[in-house]
Amino acid sequence: MKAAQKPGVIINLGSASGLYPMINDPIYSASKGGVVMFTRSLVPYKHQGIRINVLCPEFVETEMGLSVDAKFVDRVGGFVPMQMVVKGAFELITNDNKAGACLWITNRRGMEYWPTPTEEAKYLVRSSASRKRMSFKALVNVQLPQSFEKIVVHTLSHNFRNATCIIRAPLRLPIEANHVLVKVIYAGVNASDVNFSSGRYFTGNNKDIGSRLPCDAGFEAVGIIAAMGDSVRDLKVGTPAAIMTFGSYAEFTVVPAKHILPVPRPDPEVVAMLTSGLTASIALEKAGQMESGKVVLVTAAAGGTGQFAVQLAKLAGNKVVATCGGKEKAVLLKELGVDRVIDYKVENIKTVLKKEFPNGIDIIYESVGGDMFDLCLNALAVHGRLIVIGMISQYQGEYGWMPLNYTGLCEKILAKSQTVAGFFLIQYDHLWQRHLDRLFDLFSMGKLKILIDPKRFLGVQSVADAVEYLHSGKSVGKVVVCIDPTFSEQMAKL
């Protein structure tokens, strides 16, 4: 089927041939691979500005479809209505975001797009422009001072400023075996910084936890490898690295070499990909089991992790709903491709969801907690999945994070075969590098936008201000502290 003007050509494959016979059938996996390989073969056409799509209805009531054993057709859900095929074809023609995609249509799973961003990234060849953005000149001669500044937690409190202080520590050389010294350039700020400063992430009673103080604060950073201990292989001094270990709110930090995440550049966008980006990417895949053709709700969507969740859900072929507070945030979310933005300052979230999504929400990515959790649970569809990645509304206050009771939770999820899944990033460290590479690929190809809050925080002394700013509700995107502004300016000139 040939479309006029911009869409280019749409090739219809397998309209009644049973290209995807059964979800648990080995042919299903082979077919997906075939779609990916076919898409790979179309790359030269993309470079020439020709857009090609693939339309794959499972079984249609045509002469060819009627020749298939009727019992088998019934097993896969029956014939796909022609209206559904026409709807899919028009969506491919009119939606520029689906250029090069394959649309698989079944009665069992609706409309699902292939390849997924993960599969596509395996086969796409980066342009020279992408390679240029990724390039970074290693800085071999990193000057090492005798001492450096870092932030430590000296007393347990959910008030980060009161719990922490800046100390000057000696830089001890040589670095111990199998460890690496990282010069921190950018550090990421997270809502859970106040949970760390109050001791929530430590086991034991307050007396046991208190005996561990002082302890280094900060969860994530990017910087330059400044020195290495003996037995460190496959790493070089002067090259960029990301870390996701305690101690990133510091000018320098020593970490085990096995915890180094190689990155193309030590940029603030890469910081955003760490805790915020990886949480969204892994949680949607593992806890949310995200598919195409679903309705996905993201709360606090204009924040550090919400911005990733809405884009990844959209890239996977879903309808995305997002909540935020404020006109500016709503505009930004629209620019990220969100289908329905709910600004809770001018609209009632519960009313909108009940009126516009009467069948409920399939996947909810929830980070607010409290009343928002209750609202989301009540809005969940049959077989829906609610992913809890945080409870930011409960992190502040006189007593900080306090456990809450959710009366009737079991009865609610049982009645509709729903799933409520908690997600804690540290328990998925074996997936960090793969998902980080995927996020950077999407960013390099221009398929993923990363919002860095424009408010500047410079130096270790500004960290407490940055944490309080994040919890003020005024931030948009990822809040980042530039630990060494002088060094970052040098890198910008490279």
Collapsed DSSP state (helix, strand, coil) of residue 198: coil
pLDDT score of 392:
72
* Strands of the sheet with 102-106, listed across from one edge: 9-12, 52-57, 102-106, 110-114
Residue 492 has pLDDT above 60, yes or no: no
pLDDT tens across 329-387, in order? 999 999 999 999 999 999 999 999 999 999 999 999 999 988 899 999 999 999 999 99
pLDDT score of 241:
95
Residue 275 has pLDDT above 90, yes or no: yes
pLDDT score of 394:
62
Question: Which residues neighbour 24 within 8 Å (Cβ) at sequence distance 6 or greater?
Answer: none
Give the mean pLDDT of the chain: 82
Q: What is the mean pLDDT of residues 53-73?
A: 78
CA distance 144 to 123: 41
pLDDT tens across 374-393, in order? 999 999 999 999 999 987 76
Residue 301 has pLDDT above 70, yes or no: yes
CA distance 58 to 18: 5
361 φ, ψ (degrees, to nearest 5): -105, 135
Determine what percent of the chain is predicted with pLDDT higher than 70. Answer: 76
CA distance 463 to 375: 33
* Tokens encoding 13: 């494959």
Residue corresponding to tokens 């400023």:
161
Question: How many helices and strands in the chain, by DSSP H and E?
Answer: 20, 19
**Maximum CA extent, the chain:** 81
Comparing 61 with 205, the larger pLDDT belongs to 61
Q: Is 484 exposed, middle or buried (0-12, 13-18, 19+ CB in 10 A)?
A: buried
User: Does a cis peptide bond (omega within 30 degrees of 0) precede residue 256?
Assistant: no
* H/E segment holding residue 38: helix 26-41
Q: What is the mean pLDDT of residues 127-134?
A: 41
Q: What is the mean pLDDT of residues 149-153?
A: 97
* Tokens encoding 136: 């970074």
Mean pLDDT is lowest, of 29-33, 149-153, 414-418, 428-432, for 29-33
Collapsed DSSP state (helix, strand, coil) of residue 296: strand
> What's the pLDDT band for 12 if we cut at 50, 70, 90?
very low
Any alpha helices (H) in 186-305, and if so which ranges? 193-197, 206-210, 268-272, 278-282
Q: What is the mean pLDDT of residues 397-423?
A: 75
- CA-angle at 44, arms to 40 and 50, nearest 5°: 105
HSE at residue 194, side-chain half, CA atoms within 13 A, is: 27
pLDDT score of 35:
53
What does the DSSP assignment read for 321-389? EEEESSHHHHHHHHHTT-SEEEETTTS-HHHHHHHH-TT-EEEEEE---THHHHHHHHHEEEEEEEEE-
> What's the pLDDT band for 396 if we cut at 50, 70, 90?
low
User: Does a cis peptide bond (omega within 30 degrees of 0) precede residue 214?
Assistant: yes
